[in-house]
Amino acid sequence: MLAVRPAKIDDLDAITEIYNEAILTTDATFDIEPKTEAEQEAWFASHGPKNPVLVAELDGVVVGWASLSEWSDRCAYAGTAELSFYVKEEFRSRGIGKRLMEDIIQEGERVGLHTVIARIANGNNQSIHLHERVGFEHIGVMREVGQKFGRLLDVCLMQKIYPPKS
């Protein structure tokens, strides 16, 4: 049974484990060093009603998460967030990322965001596909802005603007 729900502080160890696995084994994130408990606590505290974090639970075990983080602390950006989503390696490609994406996009609408931005390492075609499915459009490529595992990496910028409420 897959369930997606708002994250609680008790989920932070599982969220951190999933993220640190991705840091060490993928170029999906440009972090290189695993996150510490203190860094993750600060990250969690920087989220809240306007910047939700969701977790995906499979039979009661957290196997993925998604977040809408503040894009900038400059106030005029208040209606803009950045999307992240990660699924534990052995549970990937089973539809969990798709469900997380659908639910976090709904959450963004519910909390009144105007637009969501994603920065995706070029070549992460599954992630690009999942963003396109929920209405993200390609808005540009930042060339050779990252370097990981000995490779220079381009970043694909994608954006979704919520339709105006009638």
Could you tell me the strand order of the sheet in which 115-121 lies?
2-6, 53-58, 61-70, 80-87, 115-121, 151-161, 137-148
- Residue of 85, 108, 155, 158 that binds ligand COA (CB under 6 A): 85
User: Which part of the chain contacts ligand COA (CB under 6 A), choosing from 7-15, 102-110, 117-125, 156-164?
Assistant: 117-125
- Residue of 126, 137, 147, 152 that binds ligand COA (CB under 6 A): 126
- State the CB neighbour count (10 A cutoff) for residue 42: 11
The label of the residue with tokens 């990252």 reads 146
User: Which part of the chain contacts ligand COA (CB under 6 A), choosing from 3-11, 69-77, 85-93, 144-152?
Assistant: 85-93
98 binds ligand COA (CB under 6 A): yes
* In contact, 155 and 146? CB cutoff 8 Å: yes
20 binds ligand COA (CB under 6 A): no
In the chain the beta strands, taken as DSSP E runs, fall at 2-6, 53-58, 61-70, 80-87, 115-121, 137-148, 151-161
Pick between residue 6 and residue 95 the one whose CB is nearest to ligand COA: 95
Pick between residue 21 and residue 41 the one whose CB is nearest to ligand COA: 21
CA angle in degrees (0–180, nearest 5) for 17-19-21: 70
Binding track over 137-166 against ligand COA, x by CB under 6 A: ------------------------------
Which residue's Cβ lies closest to ligand COA?
A: 97
Query: Strands 115-121 and 151-161: what pairing?
Result: antiparallel
What residue ranges bind ligand COA (CB under 6 A)? 22, 26, 28, 85-87, 92-98, 120, 124-127, 129-130, 133
